[in-house]
Homo-oligomer: A and B are copies of this chain.
Amino acid sequence: MASGVLSQPVLDQLFRQARTHAYWQDRPVEDATLREVYDLTKMAPTSVNCNPLRILFLRTREAKEKLVPALKEGNRRKVEEAPVTAILAYDRRFHDHLPELFSHVDARAWFVGDEPYREETAFRNGSLQGGYFILAARALGLDVGPLSGFDNDMVDGLFFAERYPNYRSNFLCNLGYGDADRLRPRGPRLGFEQVCTLL
């Protein structure tokens, strides 16, 4: 179904000109847009269609304030000021959905009783889906500011322990419309020869 190379402005918006934002325009993110971000994210592939990603969208001051004590100090202002902060997590019991998601074999059985394999599969595929989420947000005109500097155990305790004991926080992602005037210079990247080998 590939239909050709996307245009340069599209590649710029998704990859080349897009930046990680820490300052935001005074412009809200509609709930409908958050739904659209998920509805794109969910379509991209995961192993055995396992879909382990789970998302908490924090929109209110109250929800954000609950998160703040778990953040490294340098990330607090970023979360407080972002229109929305998403907690991206993965579900360690993702395999309970496999009879519905991957119905032609008993894929659930592969994971029952093998916790390390479940954890690895959930972490890998939940992170893959995190990558899709970031690019889906950009595809819908949003800017993102992903963050790893926080206490995962504390976030799990605050947000998941009671209602979703099988969820594990992965990373955070601020969402909004960025203030491009406050961007810092972009960091360098590793080149093709440093990362890739052709065999």
Are B148 and A121 interface neighbours, CB within 8 A? Answer: yes
User: Is A154 in contact with chain B by the CB < 8 A criterion?
Assistant: no
Which residue of chain B is the closest to A94 with respect to CB atoms? B190
Are B38 and A2 interface neighbours, CB within 8 A? Answer: no
User: Is A47 in contact with chain B by the CB < 8 A criterion?
Assistant: yes
Report the Cα distance A38→B180, complex, angstroms: 25
Report the Cα distance A187→B143, complex, angstroms: 30
Are B59 and A199 interface neighbours, CB within 8 A? Answer: yes
Q: How many chain copies?
A: 2
Contacts of A39 in B (CB 8 A): 192
Given contacts A128-B127, A130-B128, contact A192 B35 (CB under 8 A): yes
Chain A contact patch, size range = 35 or more
Report the Cα distance A51→B14, complex, angstroms: 17
Are A189 and B6 interface neighbours, CB within 8 A? Answer: no
What is the minimal beta-carbon distance from A14 to any residue of chain B, in angstroms? 7
Contacts of A44 in B (CB 8 A): 15, 18, 131, 134-135
For this complex, 13 residue pairs linking A to B, each with C-beta atoms less than 8 Å apart, are: A1-B178, A5-B140, A10-B139, A11-B40, A16-B43, A35-B196, A39-B192, A45-B146, A49-B187, A51-B195, A56-B199, A57-B199, A127-B131
